[in-house]
């Protein structure tokens, strides 16, 4: 007989892997973010009780969607506010019989539909990305606020305004017509990129990686590439595949970060690299941009048989090209790192100092890590230790803290 612990383990697993897909489908069915969020939690609560007596269903995701929908209908009957939020006639939804197969054809693209909805031109551009990261990816508001350098309260207000705009403008939860895709494509690409980044280097929690988010970003980019043949879509997918191919070598058995130069390259996923090359070649056939150039950089890293054979001159040239298109502080920092590998640490430090003077990345942990590495290569060990110490003070990510601490311990050996 199945016990409560087994049920909870299964529900925890389903929540991590499928809750945002379930949420996206509930948004489409109910037509409202808040109703869908309540329905999602109602469904998991119902499962924790019902599955104890009836067992885990053969299609648990579909069960949860159906349970959430029917729980929401019950709520709508009793709640006038919920009735005002619902866009469709509740009696129609209520009368539908449950069929375990009825949601399968929607699950794969409901998340993508929701991203395009959040990125509708009617929604303020400064809200689009934050709204998508919160509602589609389930990231915490405080983490999104940190990324946008605003207070949690400010970010929460933006997200509420975004949901209100979609509700009051009756923006449909669907993919736009093909002739309207380009209006939202830049924002959608950025969202998928940010989803992957959160999976590649989690901003909170004890683990460096969030494989669920990385996989979801790649899945969404693949769906998008099937929907529209665009150079930057292909470039983004190639970038994610190249980055993801290294994940097995990026952390040690204790969960600590392993620097690129120390990674076991035999653990890299050759099939993913090969698939990435296919999409990179497709990207370069058209009018490419920043995502494709980043993919080209990632390809230089994964094609090198060992760290010392990395073509840093090509990487530095690609970053110069990127900066000519989009001269953000992050890209200029990455260029500084590449330049230090080509011309020596002094060249890189000059650019680092320029960034420090501009205050653009004054609270960015990895600026000081990069500075510390360059100072270390100059054998300025005390200065390097100070840079890493400051980097350590700027993050609360457990894996990053441990990685920086290990580097500080290594540098201390040169000072004694």
Residue range(s) defining the domain that contains residue 82:
4-94
- pLDDT for residue 389: 97
Rounded CA gap, 259 and 249, in Å?
9
Q: How confident is the model at residue 1 (pLDDT cuts 50, 70, 90)?
A: low
Q: Distance between CA 404 and CA 20 in Å, rounded?
A: 33
Domain-embedded: residue 230: no
Six token digits for residue 150: 């605003």
More confident: 263 or 126:
263
Q: How confident is the model at residue 201 (pLDDT cuts 50, 70, 90)?
A: confident
The residue among 77 and 153 whose pLDDT is bigger is: 153
Long-range contact pairs involving 350-359 (C-beta distance under 8 Å, separation at least 24): 355/329, 358/329
pLDDT of residue 84: 57
Does residue 45 belong to any structural domain of this protein? yes
99-138 burial, b if ≥16 CB within 10 A, otherwise e? eeeebeebbebbbbbbbbbbbbeebeeebbbbbbbbbbbb
Residue 308: the pLDDT is 95
Residue 315: which residues within 8 A CB-CB, separation 6 or more?
A: 297, 300, 301, 338, 341
Task: Name residue, tokens 């379930």.
Answer: 22
Which range (65-69, 77-81, 104-108, 312-316) has the least confidence? 104-108
| pLDDT of res. 204 | 65
User: Across all residues in the chain, what is the average pLDDT?
Assistant: 88
pTM of the model: 0.82
Number of domains the chain is built from: 1
Are the beta carbons of 68 and 43 closer than 8 angstroms? Answer: yes
* pLDDT tier for residue 9 given thresholds of 50, 70 and 90: very high
Neighbour tally for 174: CB within 10 Å:
13
Residue 283 lies in a domain: no
Backbone angles phi, psi at 316, to 5 degrees: -60, -40
Instruction: With a cut of 70, say whether residue 235 has pLDDT above it.
Output: yes
* 8 Å CB contact between 161 and 178: no
Residue 26 is assigned to a structural domain of this protein = yes
343 inside domain: no
> Would the pLDDT of 146 be above 80?
no
61 within some domain? yes
Q: How far apart are CA 35 and CA 397, in angstroms?
A: 32
Residue 76 lies in a domain: yes
Length of the chain in terms of residues written: 416
Digit-coded pLDDT (tens) for 87-105 = 554 444 444 444 444 444 4
Cβ–Cβ under 8 Å, residues 126 and 187: no
Determine contact, residues 116/227, Cβ cutoff 8 Å.
no
356/112: higher pLDDT: 356
Whether 308 is covered by a domain: the verdict is no
| 88 C-beta neighbours (distance < 10 Å), count | 10
First to last CA, the chain: 62
Write the DSSP string, 245-297: TTGGGSB-TTS-B--GGG--GGGS-HHHHHHHHHHHHHHHTS---HHHHHHHH
């Amino acid at each position: 007989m199945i016990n409560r612990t087994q049920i909870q383990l299964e529900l925890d697993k389903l929540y991590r892997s499928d809750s945002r897909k379930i949420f996206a489908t509930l948004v489409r069915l109910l037509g409202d973010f808040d109703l869908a969020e309540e329905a999602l939690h109602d469904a998991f609560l119902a499962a924790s009780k019902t599955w104890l007596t009836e067992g885990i269903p053969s299609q648990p995701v579909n069960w949860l969607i159906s349970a959430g929908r029917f729980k929401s209908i019950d709520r709508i009957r009793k709640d006038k506010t919920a009735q005002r939020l619902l866009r469709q006639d509740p009696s129609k939804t209520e009368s539908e019989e449950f069929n375990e197969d009825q949601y399968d054809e929607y699950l794969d693209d409901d998340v993508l539909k929701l991203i395009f909805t959040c990125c509708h031109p009617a929604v303020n551009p400064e809200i689009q990305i934050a709204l998508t990261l919160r509602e589609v990816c389930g990231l915490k508001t405080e983490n999104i606020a940190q990324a946008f350098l605003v207070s949690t309260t400010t970010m929460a207000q933006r997200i509420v305004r975004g949901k209100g705009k979609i509700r009051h403008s009756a923006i449909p939860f669907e993919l736009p017509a093909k002739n309207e895709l380009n209006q939202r494509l830049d924002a959608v690409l950025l969202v998928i990129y940010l989803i992957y980044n959160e999976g590649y280097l989690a901003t909170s929690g004890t683990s460096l990686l969030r494989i669920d988010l990385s996989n979801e970003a790649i899945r969404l980019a693949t769906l998008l590439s099937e929907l529209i043949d665009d150079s930057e879509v292909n470039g983004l997918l190639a970038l994610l595949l190249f980055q993801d191919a290294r994940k097995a070598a990026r952390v040690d058995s204790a969960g600590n970060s392993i620097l690129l130069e120390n990674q076991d390259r035999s653990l890299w996923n050759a099939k993913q690299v090969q698939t990435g090359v296919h999409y990179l070649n497709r990207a370069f056939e058209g009018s490419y941009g920043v995502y494709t150039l980043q993919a080209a950089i990632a390809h230089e890293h994964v094609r090198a048989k060992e760290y010392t054979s990395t073509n840093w001159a090509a990487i530095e040239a690609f970053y110069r090209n990127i900066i000519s298109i989009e001269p953000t502080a992050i890209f200029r920092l990455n260029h500084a790192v590449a330049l230090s590998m080509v011309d020596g640490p002094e060249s890189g430090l000059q650019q680092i100092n320029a960034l420090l003077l501009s205050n653009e990345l004054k609270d960015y942990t990895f600026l000081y890590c990069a500075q510390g590495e360059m100072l270390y290569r100059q054998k300025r060990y005390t200065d390097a230790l100070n840079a890493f110490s400051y980097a350590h003070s700027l993050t609360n990510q457990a894996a990053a803290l441990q990685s920086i601490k290990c580097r500080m311990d290594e540098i201390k050996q040169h000072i004694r």
